[in-house]
Amino acid sequence: MNSTVQLYDATLRDGMQGEGMSLTAREKVRVAHRLDELGIDLIEAGFPASNPKELELFGLLAQERFEHAQIVAFGMTRRRGVAAQDDENLRILAECFAPVCTLVGKTWDLHLEKVVKVGREENLAMIEESVAFLVGCGKRVIYDAEHFFDAWRANEEYALECLRVAARGGAERVVLCDTNGSSLPHQVGTAVGEVVAALGRDVEVGIHCHNDLECGVANTLAAVLNGATQVQGTMNGIGERTGNANLVSIIGNLQFKLGYDVLPGDRIEKLTATAHFVDELLNLAPDPNQPFVGRNAFAHKGGLHVAGVRADASTFEHMEPELVGNERQLIVSELAGRHTVSEKAAAVGLEVDDATAQRVIDRVKELEADGYQFEAADGSFELLLRKELGGHEPLFVLESWRTIVDQNAQGHVECEATIKIWVGGERYVRSAEGNGPVNALDAALRSVVAEFHPHLRDIELTDYKVRLLDQHHGTGATTRVLVQSTDGRRTWGTIGVAQNVIAASWQALVESFEYAEAPREPAPAADADGDPATTGRPA
């Protein structure tokens, strides 16, 4: 049960087929390094024959040093009627620095007939010759059998023959691809078992699934339980249509549920950070409900569950979150009990009695009815706690603020904010310009408060999200603004809700400064693995 299973990451090639997915070559190099640090065995970095940008990427990768991972170049079997050594795409693979090449080829009659119009015998020759050519050039070759499970259902013998000729050509592994995601776990398990038995020791078998039936991960696990020794997937399951099988969940399951040591102890703790890093680079908000690594994966909401978790984590959690670099979250919301509030207060060094906890809960409920939500706005929640506890000193008293944004006849956009605030009995009037109205307000406010609290200069707003809330009020949309800020060590979220987006942004901005100013333990320094927070300012 403990035989090795290889981890093959296709994020940078197959994953890039997903809607809105795109990375620059340099970003792909950064991802490759993070995957290597995680302990991934094979990184399918791209399709060098497909376009010049991909070829450029391999040029960059050739100069990088990877600790453990092997870089894989993806390509296709030769075109019909062309000898392997004369096929341009194979030549590019042969000349590429990557030690491993993955070739995809046809296995399904329907495709031979309708898509590529190639006869069966010729297809077999195309497979074997292409593999043999690259092996002859010194490459390790993996053969991806496209649409394998449909092919298996249509014509088992021919599908198996395709795999055999790939093995004969020298492929070290054949990968059974459920390219259209149409197979279910019991089908994949059975087919893989039969293929592994038929191929014997000739060649290793891998599995490549998609998530069209929401079974990508389950299909992959079924394959491993039936003899597959390589799993392919993408980080966070990105990919075309409904995505590729989610390699993050596959890793979590293999290691903690099926007993495979796919990543050594300290490596697997980087799972959460690596998954989030890829999301951030792709400009995706990490899915808070994602298994293993999502912010809510170990979050407890109902009061009863929270009491149970405090008693014994295994009563409600399927594993310890720290093992994958995640942490337990206790959500404060309508269903929360006083337990949850005291836990959260204790986590920031504050003690609340029952009466205060109850007031906090009541206040949260009131605000939630107005559209506030604290799960992503931990900074605003902590401020709320401090206000209920008493002793919170506001940074300033607001008199007024104003923003002016205009685009002039030359097309140039300008933006200016003016604030009038009182601090310690003195009135301050400050103006600032900025990239946008919120940025300008930020600059104006900071110019005053940083005189009194110099460390506030270090704060950066790193994310800014706006959405309209449910409208049953009639007089216009309520806007919720979520702001994320950092001081380089710690990151926090604050929220503002108002009809006017600038007013909502002002609220979130002010809370961000107030949070930063509240007395607390200094945060630990960012570790060597953590990428610095992005440094954009909101418009």
> Near a second copy by CB under 8 A, which window of 5-13, 161-169, 352-360, 529-537?
529-537
3-class secondary-structure state, position 272: helix
Size of the site for a second copy (CB under 8 A): 120
The residues in 161-180 that bind a second copy, with binding defined as CB under 8 A, are: 179-180
Question: Which residue, 389 or 501, is less far from a second copy as judged by CB?
Answer: 501
Shortest Å distance, C-beta 377 to a second copy: 11
3-class secondary-structure state, position 42: strand
Q: Using an 8 Å Cβ cutoff, are 419 and 444 in contact?
A: yes
Question: Which residue, 210 or 386, is less far from a second copy as judged by CB?
Answer: 210
Q: In this chain, which of 194, 269, 320, 375 binds a second copy, going by CB under 8 A?
A: 375
> Near a second copy by CB under 8 A, which window of 209-217, 264-272, 352-360, 377-385?
209-217
Helices (H), 230-377: 247-256, 265-268, 271-281, 303-311, 338-347, 354-369
- Residue 389 near a second copy by CB under 8 A: no
- Residue 222 near a second copy by CB under 8 A: yes
Task: Residue 35: name the closest of 248, 265, 259 by CA.
Answer: 248
Pairwise CA distance, residues 369 & 363, whole Å: 10
> Near a second copy by CB under 8 A, which window of 259-267, 268-276, 496-504, 524-532?
496-504
Chain position carrying tokens 């299909």: 219
- Residue 22 near a second copy by CB under 8 A: yes
The residues in 78-107 that bind a second copy, with binding defined as CB under 8 A, are: none
Q: In this chain, which of 82, 137, 307, 518 binds a second copy, going by CB under 8 A?
A: 307
- Residue 190 near a second copy by CB under 8 A: no
The residues in 236-265 that bind a second copy, with binding defined as CB under 8 A, are: 240-243, 246, 249, 252-253, 257-258
Shortest Å distance, C-beta 115 to a second copy: 5
Shortest Å distance, C-beta 408 to a second copy: 5
Task: Residue 304: name the closest of 274, 271, 330, 266 by CA.
Answer: 330
Q: Using an 8 Å Cβ cutoff, are 484 and 493 in contact?
A: yes
Question: Which residue, 174 or 331, is less far from a second copy as judged by CB?
Answer: 331
Question: Which residue, 34 or 140, is less far from a second copy as judged by CB?
Answer: 34
Q: Tokens representing 507?
A: 């609220």
Backbone torsion region of residue 222, taken as left when φ is above 0, otherwise alpha when ψ lies between -120 and 50, otherwise beta: alpha
Pairwise CA distance, residues 148 & 177, whole Å: 5
- Residue 503 near a second copy by CB under 8 A: yes
Q: Tokens representing 385?
A: 């706690």
Pairwise CA distance, residues 103 & 94, whole Å: 12
> Near a second copy by CB under 8 A, which window of 30-38, 92-100, 284-292, 442-450?
284-292
Task: Residue 460: name the closest of 450, 471, 473 by CA.
Answer: 450
Q: In this chain, which of 67, 157, 351, 470 binds a second copy, going by CB under 8 A?
A: 470
3-class secondary-structure state, position 82: coil
- Residue 447 near a second copy by CB under 8 A: no
Pairwise CA distance, residues 354 & 61, whole Å: 58
The residues in 39-78 that bind a second copy, with binding defined as CB under 8 A, are: none
- Residue 457 near a second copy by CB under 8 A: no
Question: Which residue, 270 or 301, is less far from a second copy as judged by CB?
Answer: 301
Q: In this chain, which of 230, 272, 356, 439 binds a second copy, going by CB under 8 A?
A: 439
- Residue 334 near a second copy by CB under 8 A: yes
Shortest Å distance, C-beta 33 to a second copy: 17
Q: Please enumerate in sequence order all residues whose Cβ is within 8 A of that of 224, keeping only pairs 6 or more positions apart, or say none.
A: 5, 207, 231, 254, 258, 260
Shortest Å distance, C-beta 295 to a second copy: 8
Pairwise CA distance, residues 182 & 215, whole Å: 9
Chain position carrying tokens 């460390």: 455
Pairwise CA distance, residues 383 & 391, whole Å: 11
Question: Which residue, 69 or 73, is less far from a second copy as judged by CB?
Answer: 73
Shortest Å distance, C-beta 54 to a second copy: 11
The residues in 106-135 that bind a second copy, with binding defined as CB under 8 A, are: 110-111, 114-115
- Residue 311 near a second copy by CB under 8 A: yes
> Near a second copy by CB under 8 A, which window of 86-94, 263-271, 396-404, 485-493?
396-404
- Residue 225 near a second copy by CB under 8 A: yes
- Residue 363 near a second copy by CB under 8 A: no
Q: Please enumerate in sequence order all residues whose Cβ is within 8 A of that of 73, keeping only pairs 6 or more positions apart, or say none.
A: 44, 45, 46, 47, 48, 58, 93, 96, 98, 100, 101, 102
Q: How many CB atoms lie within 10 A of CB 236?
A: 27
> Near a second copy by CB under 8 A, which window of 56-64, 234-242, 351-359, 385-393?
234-242
